[in-house]
Amino acid sequence: MLFEGQTIKADTQDGGIAELRFERGVEAVNKLDALAFGELRRALDAIKAASAIRGVLIASAKDTFIVGADIFEFASVFKRPEKDIEAFVGANSEIITALSDLPVPTVAAINGLALGGGLEVALAADYRVMSRAAKIGFPEISLGLFPGYGGTVRLPRLTGLEPSAEWIIFGAQQSPERALQAGAVDAVTGPEELRAAALAMLKMAVAGKADWQGRRARMKQSLELAKEEAATLLANARAQAAKALPHLPAAHFAVDLLEKASGLDRNAALALEATTFAKVAKTQAADSLVTIFVNEQALKKSIRRYAKDAPPVRRVAVAGAGIMGGGIAYQSASRGVPIVMKDISATALDLGMSEARKLLAKAVETGRLTQDKADAVIGSITPSLTYEGFDKADVVIEAVVENFAAKQAVLREIEGLVRPNAILASNTSSLRIDALAEGLRRPENFLGMHFFNPVPKMPLVEVVRGPKTSPQAIAMVTGYAAAMGKTPIVVEDCPGFVVNRTLTPYLIAFLRLVCDGADFLEIDNAMETFGWPMGPAYLIDVIGMDISHHVVEIVSAGFSPRMDVPFETAIEILLREGRLGQKNGRGFYKYQSDSKGRPRKEIDPETERLLAAGQPNGSTRIGEEEIALRMMLPLILEAARCVEDGIAASPGDVDMCLILGLGLPRYLGGALKYADYLGLKNVVDRADSLADLSPIYRPSERLRAMAASGEVFYPL
């Protein structure tokens, strides 16, 4: 044994071959952290000191090669000054460079996943053999970063600029075939033959039958590029980054880095990579996206904690069909939990089953399901006009119309039919769980389970704890939601919970802007430019004018007078004209079906005339920056109140609710992370300057105290 550590081992094989093996103890995967880098340096020193070594095989003892860097370590390091980050990245990069400079040939055997720093380790080898079951890639862009351990230097010297720019900017995982075609790997083989194939390639190099020294020399030189062709490729990459990733500076820095580093030798290019990486690490986007990663991991732990003692959910029933019920039924059945879907209307049942079939057909068409599997899924959804089968359900989801009396009546009826230990969950989006629980004999078995539409696409489920909800009910529904492939976040009971409570003042801000004379088209454009997937007017059309009005009405009444709306709103004006949004083809916009039957948004000139009736001072031009400020501040202030009121367990949970359930731009990191970025004193001061417009701009006393004392929602 040449070296034995907690994450890496190096031993000798026959014929003077050393195997450098990543083997991270009892952990499921290999990752690169301070411990791994320290051990890698010591292992390389041991290999260099062993004069009998003639070649090195780099492999993994796990089912995957290396999944990348330790992002929790990044989160800590990125709080330091830029120079410290540069030194940190540069030191780790030097260790990987020491691997590439070993005095003997090296071959990496890539199994499972080689991502981020894992791929950078593989690229440091002279040759790479990849399993057909493996994937490689640079996903750093999802963290607002680019590769920092030599990836931007070594990949272009193997593949050329075009594939490198695409892989680094967009972060997709690459198949073995694509990797081989691009030149990132030298051979592809079956998983069982991987080790033998890699050893065979290494022995060829050791025997002088492969020019590893010539290849290594080329990897140390600058890139040989045709100037005009390189300029065109880089211009295209910049244009793609500007269009697809306008809020991620890492993409734009990466293109600049590729351009500058291509004219440098390896060592100078690596130094430039470390310097540029440190700059990117200090951007808002990188800070925010790393925070999201940390919040996501905390959520996963929370979900496991809630669900660890819960019995599995084997049968489910949903009361209420249509698009929502059909989406819930599809999601449950496709994850292996049979479901009864009940409605009083055969038409609604047909619509629910049609929705499930449509979703399954799309899954078959895209290759995600076989037809046999799709048939089995649809067979596990039982449509019914009666409550037959509800007595066998572990969980029953009420998903009828968002009307208090209707929901309460259905819940009371269902409770008399189900087993005593069955869990009742309401899919209400805004009604209080404690109020719905009145009259139930077993309120401890009742809670909210708020899905978002469309169910298959929206990842969040708000699991709403009522005052009497038992821990067992929370655990069971949290586990079931996770088994459905959703991200459940446990929240406390209040009007609108987290998402709709926070959405309501955001929509009120929009309605006030329109009342003040702003053009709704300019508001939508401003918020889409800011990073939202759609502007507020379009969002209201998609949700439905009637549903949006109902949510605003219910939630604002629950937080009166802070959310009072003392003027006729654009929603009320358009509703009076029978405009419901996408569902009937007219809302703020008008809609025509495209060739695939999807609603296509078009500007409706009539809307401006209708809305003028609700603009007592006429129309006016409001700048994009002011629009964004007036829209975002109420959302931030209400998110802060959700933390203050204990509606969610942490600022991270509030922010993840808004990202997963509302589509808040990820580069912000969440409303509260964005507040930290702006500075809480700045948030309070800007809100105070707008307080005469509406009470939604008035900060809480707790937020004022935080601002005065220099506190943040995300301390170091």
pLDDT beyond 80 at 355: yes
Q: For residue 225, what pLDDT is reported?
A: 82
Element of type H or E holding 489:
strand 487-492
Encoded amino acid at 356, one letter: A
Alpha carbon of residue 556 to chain centroid: 29
pLDDT beyond 90 at 127: yes
* CATH 1.10.1040.50 is right for the domain spanning 500-709: yes
CATH for 313-493, options being 3.90.10.10, 3.40.50.720, 1.10.3720.10, 3.60.20.10? 3.40.50.720
Pairing between strand 460-465 and 590-593? unpaired
pLDDT beyond 90 at 404: yes
**For residue 598, what pLDDT band results from cuts at 50, 70 and 90?**
confident
Pairing between strand 113-115 and 187-189? unpaired
Name the nearest CA neighbour of 253 among 277, 274, 231: 277
Distance between CA 669 and CA 657 in Å, rounded?
11
Distance between CA 340 and CA 326 in Å, rounded?
11
pLDDT beyond 80 at 675: yes
Q: For residue 54, what pLDDT is reported?
A: 98
Three-class secondary structure of residue 11 per DSSP: strand
Structure tokens at 322: 């249509």
Q: For residue 716, what pLDDT is reported?
A: 74
Give the dihedral of Cα atoms 7, 11, 13, 15; nearest 10 deg. Answer: 130
Name the nearest CA neighbour of 478 among 299, 307, 660: 307
Q: For residue 226, what pLDDT is reported?
A: 78
**Catalytic residue annotation:** 450
Span 65-103, pLDDT tens digits: 999 999 999 999 999 999 999 999 999 999 999 999 999
**Superfamily of the domain at 3-282:** 2-enoyl-CoA Hydratase; Chain A, domain 1 (3.90.226.10)
User: How many CB atoms are closer than 10 A to CB 83?
Assistant: 10
- Mean of the pLDDT values across residues 495-506? 98
Q: For residue 596, what pLDDT is reported?
A: 80
Q: For residue 308, what pLDDT is reported?
A: 87
Q: Record the pTM.
A: 0.94
Residues 6+ apart with CB under 8 A from 291: 75, 652, 669, 670, 673, 714
Residues 6+ apart with CB under 8 A from 277: 85, 86, 89, 145, 146, 148
**For residue 202, what pLDDT band results from cuts at 50, 70 and 90?**
very high
Alpha carbon of residue 195 to chain centroid: 35
How is the chain split into domains, by residue range?
A: 3-282, 313-493, 500-709
Q: For residue 475, what pLDDT is reported?
A: 97
Distance between CA 405 and CA 402 in Å, rounded?
9
Q: What is the mean pLDDT of the chain?
A: 97
**For residue 467, what pLDDT band results from cuts at 50, 70 and 90?**
very high
- Mean of the pLDDT values across residues 249-277? 97
pLDDT beyond 90 at 307: no
Span 572-586, pLDDT tens digits: 999 999 999 999 999
- Mean of the pLDDT values across residues 619-623? 95
pLDDT beyond 80 at 558: yes
Q: How far is CA 698 from CA 627, 633, 672, 686, 702, in A?
A: 17, 10, 16, 10, 12
- Mean of the pLDDT values across residues 306-334? 94
Structure tokens at 411: 């819940």
At 592, give phi and psi (nearest 5°): -120, 145
Q: For residue 595, what pLDDT is reported?
A: 84
**For residue 309, what pLDDT band results from cuts at 50, 70 and 90?**
confident
**For residue 381, what pLDDT band results from cuts at 50, 70 and 90?**
very high
**For residue 227, what pLDDT band results from cuts at 50, 70 and 90?**
confident
CA 115-119-121 angle, 5° bins = 135
Q: For residue 38, what pLDDT is reported?
A: 98
pLDDT beyond 80 at 298: yes
Contacts 24+ apart (CB under 8 A), 591-600: 591/541
Structure tokens at 142: 């999802």
